[in-house]
Amino acid sequence: MSILVDAGTKLVVQGITGREGGFHATRNKAYGTRVVAGVTPGKSGQEVEGIPVFDTVDDAVSETGANTAMVFVPPRFAADAILEGLDSDVQLVVCITEGIPAHDMLRVYAQLKRGDTTLVGPNCPGVISPGAATVGIMPTQVFEAGRVGVVSRSGTLTYQISKELGLLGIGQSTVVGIGGDPVVGSGFIDILERFEADPGTDLVVMVGEIGGTEEEKAADYIASTMSTPVVAYVAGFQAPPGKQMGHAGAIITGSTGTAQAKKEALEARGVGVGSSPTEVAELAKERLGSPS
Amino acid sequence: MDLFEYQGKQLLGARGIPVPEGEAASTPEEARAAAERIGGRVVVKAQVQIGGRGKAGGIKLAESPEEAQARASDILGMDIRGHVVRRLWIEEASAIAREYYASITFDRAAKRPLAMLSAVGGMDIEEVARTQPDALARRHIDPLIGFQAHDARWLAYRAGIDPEGVGGVVAILGKLYDAFVGLDAMLVEINPLVLTEDGRVVALDAKVTIDNNAVGRHPELEELGDIAPEDPQEAMARERGVTYVKLDGDVGILGNGAGLVMSTLDVVANAGGRPANFLDAGGGSKADEVVTALEVLLSDPKVKVLLINIFGGITRCDEVAEGLLTALDRLGADLPIVVRLDGTNEDEGRAILAERAPDNVVVEATMLSAAARAVELAGVAA
């Protein structure tokens, strides 16, 4: 079992005729994801590695039955592409694009909340349910099928932690990169809710970083609502205030958003926090070995 | 991207928010000439991107152009908590009756713009929020509807703005929201927003932070000039499109991906070391990017040891290894370099380094052992 993507996923790739879009659409398909369509305005009738291209998401959905969209459109046009996805009949939009202006995402988020489509990203590596389907840019060889969920604001750090889990013999049900921007469609709590409801997930590894208060809010949610155990990692203890640490969302402003505050909030609510990627994998193994 | 006060004031002034007449100056002579043109009493203000300028002596009143020149000479070159004053803003002095606070911020927790107004201005607003929470009126704005006049009135009455100031404050709040959206700002803040003795409402300060992701669609910001960071490595990194942050230790750090790089800083600190800087070469780093990254990092004289921590996803470790060899060939660095390669083609990458890397390159198998080794070597080099 898994969340968000699985063997039933039928993917339409927005921006498929771009270099990155075409490359990753092909890789997702090679992994076993059913990539049924691509969209690039003005290029309907073309094919990318056997995947038919349409002018609009609506056309792609009505012709192919696509239920998931992946956005690979350049930053300036990405908010429009997400809104097009939300306006269609797909259930899930995954936006990989990095560098979307924050004000564009404010408007997208307000619109998102008016409907029932799920958005993952932007500025995220995507979602993989190992062995079943991948939607995004994750290096699939790092992951193994299993029963631990991973949710993270970061890309390479997620791969590192998933690999450390694999070295301890722990596979993953689904790995979700929620993205490193100030405004993302799905926060930690949205994904934790899904893992909590998934009978195929026995434990969740949450990978946070400095900036915002999502980890603190997730700590409250975990303590008040979840029966599935959670262990966590937080990156950025050495980050100085006021400096953006690579991700647009990773910045300590004023007194909020420090790694120490997040670690304390999590530990105060019984969530173990590892001090390195290696240690959080070991914590996961301990928790799995000693069911409470 | 943080703007200087004088840049923020020009942008807000251009959008119809009343600001005192003023001019930028970089020398005492320019300050004197500016004061002459403005006439009467002027304020000489240090342009640094840090709070507490006034207390540090970076804001002075001058009665005459001669005095403006003297005060400018005092303030230029002053070090205000690590920020050296290179530019001044000379503006007409205002007769202040009351000081207010107004801002629009990007509230990422609520994912909406947040408008704030207080009749208690001119001081640290976090302090006001803590000690007199009722003095700070706060209102979220729906980004799809925009800021309405009733939002402004609600804020003005809730904050207890003086009756003669309400009209001016309401007008300014609407324009401030327009500036927030129109400039793709993460923050527009006026502190203090003053009511003058003759009943006008004027912005005496301006703090504007622009979303880095949106700078490209604002050519008007380039015309402001002087927005590049002062640090030479930061300027170089920006020019080459990589993320670089300077810290104050001696271990230089190169990684790929923001989360992994932050994690690397932490494990270095846990091992007892102090990061000098970090550079994120991006999640999909290729050989060329490694060369660029090393050029930036090695140009910082504080770096005694370099730690390279790569997780190969789409990036292949053999390409990173080749990039490292090319960079060392070109740059001829002889400081110790600790390399950890993990992920896609890690074996090939390590083999390339084992065969062809110079003696100052040390390969470690894990992130933790690499951090420990880098810290040890930094201790030797110190």
Q: Above pLDDT 70, what percent of chain B? A: 96
**CB A182 to CB B313 under 8 A?**
no
pLDDT in tens, B190-234: 999 999 999 999 999 999 999 989 988 998 887 776 554 557 777
pLDDT in tens, B26-36: 999 999 999 99
Tell me the HSE value of B275 on the side-chain side, using a 13 A CA sphere.
29
Run of H or E including B292: helix B287-298
**pLDDT category, B382, cuts 50, 70, 90?**
low
CA distance B128 to A225: 35
Residue that wins the pLDDT comparison between B242 and B120: B120
The pLDDT of residue B91? 96
> Contact at 8 Å (CB) between B344 and A139?
yes
The torsion angles phi and psi of A2, rounded to 5 degrees, stand at -170, 180
Q: Does B217 touch chain A (CB under 8 A)?
A: yes
**CB A246 to CB B261 under 8 A?**
yes
> Contact at 8 Å (CB) between A72 and A15?
yes
Q: Does A140 touch chain B (CB under 8 A)?
A: no
Domains, chain B, ordered by start: 1-19+96-227 (3.30.470.20), 21-93 (3.30.1490.20), 232-381 (3.40.50.261)
Tell me the HSE value of A249 on the side-chain side, using a 13 A CA sphere.
32
> Contact at 8 Å (CB) between B27 and B98?
no
What's the token pair of residue B82? Answer: 């690590």
The pLDDT of residue B225? 61
Q: Does B157 touch chain A (CB under 8 A)?
A: no
Q: Which residues of A touch B368 (CB under 8 A)?
A: 276, 278
Q: Does B259 touch chain A (CB under 8 A)?
A: yes
CA distance B241 to B261: 16
Q: What is the mean pLDDT of chain A?
A: 94
Q: Which residues of B touch A237 (CB under 8 A)?
A: 265-266, 269
The region, left, alpha or beta by phi > 0 then psi within -120 to 50, assigned to residue B232 is alpha
**CB B313 to CB A137 under 8 A?**
yes
Domains A1-123 and A139-292 share a fold: yes
**CB B256 to CB A156 under 8 A?**
yes
What totals of helices (H) and strands (E) does chain B contain, helices first?
13, 18
Q: Above pLDDT 90, what percent of chain A? A: 90
Whether ipTM > 0.85 holds is yes
The region, left, alpha or beta by phi > 0 then psi within -120 to 50, assigned to residue A274 is beta
The pLDDT of residue A200? 97
Q: For chain A, which residues make up each domain, given as ranges?
A: 1-123, 139-292
Report the CATH number of the A139-292 domain: 3.40.50.261
**pLDDT category, B55, cuts 50, 70, 90?**
confident
Does the pLDDT at position B238 exceed 80?
no
Residue that wins the pLDDT comparison between B6 and B50: B6
Run of H or E including A288: helix A277-289
Chain B (300-339) residues lying within 8 Å, Cβ to Cβ, of chain A: 311-314
Q: Which of A240, A248, A276 shows the shortest C-beta gap to B267? A: A276
Chain B (274-293) residues lying within 8 Å, Cβ to Cβ, of chain A: 275, 278, 280, 283
pLDDT in tens, A217-272: 999 999 999 999 999 999 999 988 878 887 878 887 777 789 999 999 999 999 99
Asked which of A199-203, B180-184, B287-291, B349-353 is least confident by mean pLDDT, the reply is B287-291
Run of H or E including B159: helix B149-159
CA distance A128 to A142: 11
The pLDDT of residue A292? 46
CA distance A203 to A229: 5
The pLDDT of residue A247? 83
Closest chain A residue to B125, measured at CA: A254
**CB B312 to CB A250 under 8 A?**
no
Q: Does A207 touch chain B (CB under 8 A)?
A: yes
The pLDDT of residue B286? 65
pLDDT in tens, B79-127: 988 788 999 999 999 999 999 999 999 999 899 999 999 999 887 888 8
Q: Does A283 touch chain B (CB under 8 A)?
A: no
Q: What is the mean pLDDT of chain B?
A: 90
Q: Does B231 touch chain A (CB under 8 A)?
A: no
The pLDDT of residue A84? 98
Q: Which residues of A touch B247 (CB under 8 A)?
A: 238, 240
Does the pLDDT at position A44 exceed 60?
yes
Q: Which of A76, A238, A245 shows the shortest C-beta gap to B269? A: A238
CA distance B286 to chain A (A): 15
Residue from B376, B303, B377, B317 nearest B352 by CA: B317
**pLDDT category, B331, cuts 50, 70, 90?**
confident
Q: Is B222 helix (H, G, I), strand (E, B) or coil?
A: helix
Residue from B330, B335, B329 nearest B254 by CA: B335
Q: Which residues of B touch A249 (CB under 8 A)?
A: 108
The pLDDT of residue B212? 86
CA distance A204 to A196: 9
Beta-ladder partners of A53: A38
Q: Return the CATH number of A1-123, one of 3.10.150.10, 3.40.50.720, 3.40.50.11810, 3.40.630.30.
A: 3.40.50.720
Pick the catalytic residue from A247, A262, A263, A285. A247
- Told to judge if B189 belongs to the known catalytic residues of this protein, a careful annotator would answer yes
**CB A110 to CB B269 under 8 A?**
no
- Size of chain A in residues: 292
The pLDDT of residue B229? 52
**pLDDT category, B348, cuts 50, 70, 90?**
very high
What totals of helices (H) and strands (E) does chain A contain, helices first?
9, 14
Closest chain A residue to B181, measured at CA: A103
Amino acid at B7: Q
Q: Which residues of A touch B344 (CB under 8 A)?
A: 139, 141
CA distance A111 to chain B (A): 8
The pLDDT of residue A63? 97
CA distance A124 to B132: 40
Does the pLDDT at position B183 exceed 50?
yes
Q: Does B212 touch chain A (CB under 8 A)?
A: yes
The pLDDT of residue B167? 96
CA distance A206 to A152: 6
**CB B184 to CB A154 under 8 A?**
no
What's the token pair of residue B99? Answer: 């000081």
Residue from A78, A49, A52 nearest A65 by CA: A52
The pLDDT of residue B5? 93
> Contact at 8 Å (CB) between A3 and A191?
yes
Burial label for B226, CB within 10 Å (0-12, 13-18, 19+), is middle
Does the pLDDT at position B243 exceed 70?
yes
Run of H or E including A191: helix A188-197
**CB B311 to CB A236 under 8 A?**
no
CA distance B141 to B194: 24
State the count of interchain CB pairs (< 8 A) between A and B.
166
Does the pLDDT at position A290 exceed 80?
no
**CB A101 to CB B366 under 8 A?**
no
pLDDT in tens, A95-144: 999 999 999 999 999 999 999 999 999 999 999 999 999 999 999 999 99
**CB B262 to CB A245 under 8 A?**
yes
The pLDDT of residue B283? 55
Q: Does A115 touch chain B (CB under 8 A)?
A: no
Q: Which residues of B touch A246 (CB under 8 A)?
A: 243, 257-259, 261-262, 280
Tell me the HSE value of A70 on the side-chain side, using a 13 A CA sphere.
36
Pick the catalytic residue from B100, B101, B177, B244. B101
Q: Is B334 helix (H, G, I), strand (E, B) or coil?
A: coil
CA distance A215 to chain B (A): 11
This prediction has a pTM of: 0.91
> Contact at 8 Å (CB) between A216 and A261?
yes
**CB B109 to CB A159 under 8 A?**
no
